[in-house]
Amino acid sequence: MVAPWFKFLERRYGLDLRSLALLRMGLALVMLGDLWARVHGSGYGMGHGGGATAGLGNLWQSGYWSIHGLAGSVGMPLAWQVVWQIVCYAIATCATLLMLVGYRTRWATIIAWGMLVSLHNHQPQLVYATDEVLRTMLFWAMFLPWGSAYSVDQALNTSPQSPPKQILSGATLALMAQQFYIYAAPMIYEVGANWAGTTAVAIGSEIDLTGHHVNALGRILFNFPPSLFLFLYFLATVFFLGPFLLWSPIRASRCRLMAVVGFIACHGTIALTLDLENTFHVLSCITWLAFIPTLAWEGWRRRAFTPKQLGLKIYYDADCGFCKKVVHLLRTFLLLPGQVPLQTAQSDPVIQTAMEAHNSWVIVDWQDGHHYKWHGIAYVVSLSPVLWPLARVLRWSPLMALGNRLYETIANNRQVAGNFTKPFKFRSFTVRPTGRLSLVSLTMLLVISLWHLRSMTVYFDGVDQPPRAIMVLQRLTDGVQPLGPLVKAAGLDRSWVIYPPLPPQDKG
């Protein structure tokens, strides 16, 4: 039985499984884009001039490890080093694709994280703020149940127990803390300086007005003084208050939604108006998707699911394992209501007769109309609250004829088609926080927090009389230094200060 105090905290600080699924898919897409860019930009990082670092040739060196660097450390010929890099990139790509669709999600995430840290240690010259955020988010994701919605795992889950809408665990708290640190750390560094009324990003945007980084949309916005004034102060307000709204105990869902909308609006505006490398701002928008509250999801669900979706019934052949898996996957990835029944045609004599007459699955709409073959696929797609525009394409006459022919080919060769879905197994699992994973994630959060707090005191090492608060902080964090290799091995030793506290003053 769940304790009342835990339910209280879960309602306020739990993360919705659907939001975590959006984070999973968004990060996977960013990682695939990053792998593609690295392959075409550095030629797999071959040679010291291509990004590989001589000092990281060994598999392990002072906490920094690199599987990518293994080939160079054992003295392989250059051709075999190229092959090894291709293998490493292939493993990372496969793991990321599995993470994208949510198949064996935790293992896929662990492998993808390991290959990402290895790649960053192999090419440290090509690691930027985007990579820091991506690596950190992926670390906490290893402890999250982010494969419990919109995934192959959940589609083939046979557990009779419905998954919870949201979950509270050590990993979800660590993810929230990490997001808070990213935006709050610049304020800590900037105490006593010029933080009031602006942020580093706002100042950076203002400086760019005199340079060449503003695109056409940005010039329209920024050359109009009132809009520039409102944008800068909106930016400053969101970056100052937003991190605290994430932890608000009062009207927690609404406050969190305000933070999500505010930060996505800020990063989106910057990405659309400044002619810069905007991958970081796209990634920042994606990380905030993880904090969309259940309140927003339930509101969207009430508007998206009409009697047409709720009245849908799908019947498949009980003797076709391929058919059973496909209908479960369609219901999940088309975002149809979870209560849409998936039944065997043999359970209803009328439906069985229709199935045998048309050699097809049977889709029953909310008005008891029947749809078969490719037309049935198009109808089901038309009910998707997100992918419904594809239905018009699927109903295009030439494609409809081709689709029916393809459907009949598969229907007459079900055993062959079953080989494509054979790796996907039905299995039963429940989604609940585990004490062991929560303990590990909270312990790592404590270690990493102390490590970075200790790194903040380094800036006062040469000061004869540092502030009293810094002296206290130094004493509290003295014992964290031996844990350096652990923090480095996890790829979490980089600075929290993604946004510099002060912009560069040299405009030349």
- Which pLDDT value is given to residue 459? 65
The two tokens of residue 373 are 């073959």
Q: Which residue has the tokens 């585990």?
A: 434
Whether pLDDT at 89 is above 80 = yes
The two tokens of residue 70 are 């293994």
Q: Which residue has the tokens 């479960």?
A: 328
- Which pLDDT value is given to residue 50? 40
- Which pLDDT value is given to residue 45? 52
**Over residues 151-164, mean pLDDT:** 92
Whether pLDDT at 64 is above 60 = yes
- Which pLDDT value is given to residue 329? 96
Residue 185 lies in a domain: no
Helix (H, G, I), strand (E, B) or coil at 406: helix
Helix (H, G, I), strand (E, B) or coil at 251: coil
Question: Do 309 and 287 fall within a single domain?
Answer: no
Q: Under a CB-based contact definition with an 8 Å cutoff, are residues 305 and 339 in contact?
A: no
Lowest mean pLDDT: which of 74-78, 127-131, 403-407?
Answer: 74-78
Q: What is residue 465's DSSP assignment?
A: S
**Over residues 123-136, mean pLDDT:** 86
Check residues 355 and 480 and name the one with the higher pLDDT.
355
Among 369, 393, 421, give the residue marking a domain's end: 421
Question: Do 317 and 232 fall within a single domain?
Answer: no
Provide the Cα torsion 196, 198, 204, 209; round to 10°: -120
**Over residues 171-194, mean pLDDT:** 75
Please state the domain count of the chain: 3
Among 163, 185, 208, give the residue marking a domain's end: 163
Distances (CA, A) of 66 to 52, 61, 137, 488, 489: 10, 9, 19, 12, 10
Among 390, 421, 452, give the residue marking a domain's end: 421
- Which pLDDT value is given to residue 125? 83
**Over residues 304-309, mean pLDDT:** 94
| Most confident among 201-210, 218-227, 435-444, 474-483 (mean pLDDT) | 435-444
Question: Do 156 and 203 fall within a single domain?
Answer: no
Question: Do 326 and 272 fall within a single domain?
Answer: no
Helix (H, G, I), strand (E, B) or coil at 274: strand
